Amino acid sequence: MNPSSSAHPGGEHRTVLVTGGSRGIGAQIVRRLAERGVQVGASFNSSPQQAEELAVELGDRVAPVHYRLGSESSARDAVSAMTSTFGGLDAVIVNAGFWKGGLIERVSHEEWWSVIDANVSSLSYMARAVLPSLRQAKDPSIVLVASVVGLIGHAGDTAYGAAKAAMVGFARSLAKEVGRDGIRVNVLAPGFVDTDMTSAVPDTARERIYDETVLRRFGTADEIAKAAVFLSEDATYCTGSVLSVDGGWSL
Ligand SMILES: NC(=O)c1ccc[n+]([C@@H]2O[C@H](COP(=O)([O-])OP(=O)(O)OC[C@H]3O[C@@H](n4cnc5c(N)ncnc54)[C@H](OP(=O)(O)O)[C@@H]3O)[C@@H](O)[C@H]2O)c1
């Protein structure tokens, strides 16, 4: 057992990597974990400044970590950075994602593949990188942030929808591979949240999504973050689960 994780579930000394943790939903997951006393790696790709500002806001428990989707060596380096900074790694929340929309007949092969590679190939890179550390941890966990689009579909999102649906199959297969090691693997499927990623969604599409959302409002990053922390830290008898946090959009 890794001594760095000995105080779970109180949070003290537990260590979690949150990919895409520098802004949007990921930054809120980092805040929620840090307030529980968890040591958190907040990954960034192109803009270290926001991850550094988060570390200043939250103190020594939070460290910026570089991570780039679609790169096996970057996944390995991010995990190494976590273990050298904090002495171990108990869980990863795979939150970084790449969205590119477009109707199927207008999406080039390169655009299609960029979405599949960033969102799906990266799962195998990250799993291979983290499993040796997670096998040393107490209550190790992997959470994949997918999307309601992977469950119910959305016109103009065939690549993104295919990638997010693949996360469910990946998680359930991996859960069966690593359950005997005590490693839980779960999926979170958020609905619509106002972030930089959704800022380009046109008003007509926003209005349609709003009308289809049973609670008649969009979600907040904090509402998604609380569910991610639940799956990572508290859902100790859940594996292979898919938790929709979408205001009823998928009903
Ligand atoms: N917002 C929604 O309505 C919604 C709904 C369902 C699911 N989701 C999913 O939730 C997750 C977070 O979405 P968000 O809306 O919070 O996104 P966001 O606000 O755009 O944040 C993106 C985060 O991911 C990092 N990132 C971007 N491109 C990356 C790359 N190529 N490699 C590694 N890291 C990268 C960014 O770091 P840099 O700033 O350094 O680039 C940043 O930390 C995604 O997986 C998304 O698909 C979002």
Rg, Å, the chain Cα set: 17
> Which of the listed residues 45, 98, 152 should we mutate to test ligand 1's pocket, taking the one with most ligand atoms within 8 A of CB?
45
Please say if the pLDDT value at position 204 is more than 90: yes
Query: Does residue 204's CB lie within 6 angstroms of at least one atom of ligand 1?
Result: no
- Tell me which DSSP letter residue 246 carries: S
Helix (H) or strand (E) holding 46: none
Please say if the pLDDT value at position 4 is more than 80: no
Q: Which two tokens stand for residue 88?
A: 């171990």
CA of 19 to the centre of ligand 1 (A): 9
- CB atoms under 10 Å from CB of 110, counted, come to 7
Phi, then psi, of 189 in degrees rounded to 5: -120, 90
Q: What is the mean pLDDT of residues 11-34?
A: 94
Per residue in 145-196, pLDDT tens? 999 999 999 999 999 999 999 999 999 999 999 999 999 999 999 999 999 9
**What is the share, in percent, of the chain residues with pLDDT greater than 90?**
94
Nearest CA to ligand 1 atom 45: 97
Please say if the pLDDT value at position 1 is more than 50: no
- Contact status, residue 55 vs residue 42, Cβ threshold 8 Å: yes
* pLDDT given at position 12: 58
* pLDDT given at position 139: 96
Q: Which atom of ligand 1 is nearest to the CA of 47?
A: 40
- Contact status, residue 144 vs residue 91, Cβ threshold 8 Å: no
Q: What is the mean pLDDT of residues 232-239?
A: 98
Q: Which atom of ligand 1 is nearest to the CA of 190?
A: 6
Q: How confident is the model at residue 5 (pLDDT cuts 50, 70, 90)?
A: very low
Q: Is 206 exposed, middle or buried (0-12, 13-18, 19+ CB in 10 A)?
A: middle
CA angle centred on 92, ends 145 and 156, rounded to 5°: 20
* pLDDT given at position 205: 92
Q: Angle formed by the axes of helices 109-116 and 158-178, to 10°? A: 30
CA angle centred on 174, ends 20 and 16, rounded to 5°: 35
CATH match for 3-242 among 3.40.50.720, 3.10.20.30, 3.10.450.50, 3.30.479.30: 3.40.50.720
CA angle centred on 39, ends 178 and 142, rounded to 5°: 20
Per residue in 61-119, pLDDT tens? 999 999 999 999 999 999 999 999 999 999 999 999 999 999 999 999 999 999 999 99
pTM exceeds cut of 0.75: yes
Nearest CA to ligand 1 atom 24: 20
CA of 121 to the centre of ligand 1 (A): 16
Report the alpha-carbon distance of residue 69 to residue 74 in Å, rounded: 8
**What is the share, in percent, of the chain residues with pLDDT greater than 70?**
95
Please say if the pLDDT value at position 198 is more than 90: yes
* pLDDT given at position 13: 83
